[in-house]
Amino acid sequence: MTGIQAAFKKGFFAIVLLAGVNSQAFSFPVIVTDDRGKEITLTETPRRIVSMAPTHTELLFLLGLEKEVLGVTSYCTYPEAAKQKEKIGGFAEFDIEKIIAADPDLVLSLGTIQLPAVKELEKRGKKVFWIYPRTVSDILASFERVGQLAGKGREAKQLREKLEKNVKAVRDSLGVIPDNKRPTIFRVMGINPPATIGADSFQSDAFYLAGGKNAFGDVQKDFFEVDARELVKRDPDVILICGNDEKTAKQKLLDNPGYNNLTAVKKGSVLVIPCDLTCRPGPRVIELVERIARYLHHEKFSNKTEH
């Protein structure tokens, strides 16, 4: 278990318990601006919350709001208890009628693909808070805003501060790394045709915090398809693909002509990380950063004790 994982298990839950004593003092009404620039006003603590993304579900459970969560998506698999909640859809398609029937005080949404559902819910009178974080700092700031809306402002602030310390710990371990010394990382988002992330994805920022850099970080997009010839031309140092079966994930690349000629694939410089860590801009994003940092610069962490 890494130091960051241990901090979650040992440190933060103690913070939640202590902060919980004073959380009722958090005053309403509150006005919080979402990533559309829209002000969301709540006059009292929400007792009925629907989460439209695993990111929000993880945060709500971590803040001790399990009882307030009425509905989640079919992708909300962490923590384990989230699987028992009522399902209101996937990530792009939702049962709007089921959400309306649940009569939530607050709906939490994420990403541009959900905006049509957000507009429909708002048209029908629901309060929807929407985020689309582009950096790790954006992610941590979003925790505090959600916490304010949910009546857990103090707990969320302490979570943010704790994770910021964990980011600093990684930075301190890595030291200063010039751009020309940072390994380039290609994030596999699609195999045939190849697809990846650009500068607008939070994962690009996570790579940089981990001492690497996005092989396509010069592209101002979040997700896009890549010309196979351009991928070969850039020939990234490391390939990052998400999955739970490392052997299978690596074999997919070896079997595909768009990837098997890349130096990183030939050398086995392929990092496989579970998708629920890689793709979610949630509370475990710092664990993602640490995993990548240890892979890229293991020598800087080899003398540090694992917890």
pLDDT digits (tens, 9 = 90+) for 195-205: 999 999 999 99
Is 37 found in the same domain as 160? yes
Is 183 found in the same domain as 151? no
Examine residue 114 and state whether it is found in any structural domain, yes or no. yes
Check the CA dihedral 162-275-217-289 and report its sign.
positive
Are residues 241 and 253 in contact, defined by beta-carbon separation less than 8 angstroms? yes
Is 200 found in the same domain as 142? no
Identity of the amino acid at 70 = L
Give me the tens of pLDDT residue by residue for the chain, a chain 307 residues long. 555 445 444 444 444 444 444 444 458 999 999 999 999 999 999 999 999 999 999 999 999 999 999 999 999 999 999 999 999 999 999 999 999 999 999 999 999 999 999 999 999 999 999 999 999 999 999 999 999 999 999 999 999 999 999 999 999 999 999 999 999 999 999 998 999 999 999 999 999 999 999 999 999 999 999 999 999 999 999 999 999 999 999 999 999 988 989 999 999 999 999 999 999 999 999 999 999 999 999 999 876 554 4
- Residue 31, helix vs strand vs coil: strand
Examine residue 289 and state whether it is found in any structural domain, yes or no. yes
What is the distance between the alpha carbons of residues 112 and 142, in angstroms, rounded to a whole number? 16
Report how many domains make up the chain. Answer: 2
Nearest Cα to Cα of residue 140 among 5, 298, 281: 281
Examine residue 7 and state whether it is found in any structural domain, yes or no. no
Alpha carbon 61 to its chain's center = 15
Identity of the amino acid at 117 = A
Strands 270-273 and 238-242: parallel
Is 185 found in the same domain as 159? no
**DSSP string spanning 253-302?**
HHT-TTTTTSHHHHHT-EEEE-HHHHS--STTHHHHHHHHHHHHTGGGTT
Examine residue 218 and state whether it is found in any structural domain, yes or no. yes
Is 65 found in the same domain as 107? yes
Among 111, 132, 165, give the residue marking a domain's end: 165
Among 115, 137, 165, give the residue marking a domain's end: 165
**CB within 8 Å of 250: residues ≥ 6 apart:** 241, 268, 270, 272
Is 213 found in the same domain as 126? no
What is the distance between the alpha carbons of residues 87 and 90, in angstroms, rounded to a whole number? 8
Is 186 found in the same domain as 157? no
Among 165, 197, 230, give the residue marking a domain's end: 165
Is 296 found in the same domain as 160? no
Q: What is the model's pTM?
A: 0.88
Examine residue 307 and state whether it is found in any structural domain, yes or no. no
**CB within 8 Å of 256: residues ≥ 6 apart:** 191, 192
Examine residue 53 and state whether it is found in any structural domain, yes or no. yes
CATH of residue 189's domain is 3.40.50.1980
On the 0-12 / 13-18 / 19+ scale of CB atoms within 10 A, 139 is buried
Is 148 found in the same domain as 186? no
What pLDDT score does 275 carry? 94
Examine residue 4 and state whether it is found in any structural domain, yes or no. no
Q: Give the range of the structural domain holding residue 31, as residue numbers without chain letter.
A: 19-165
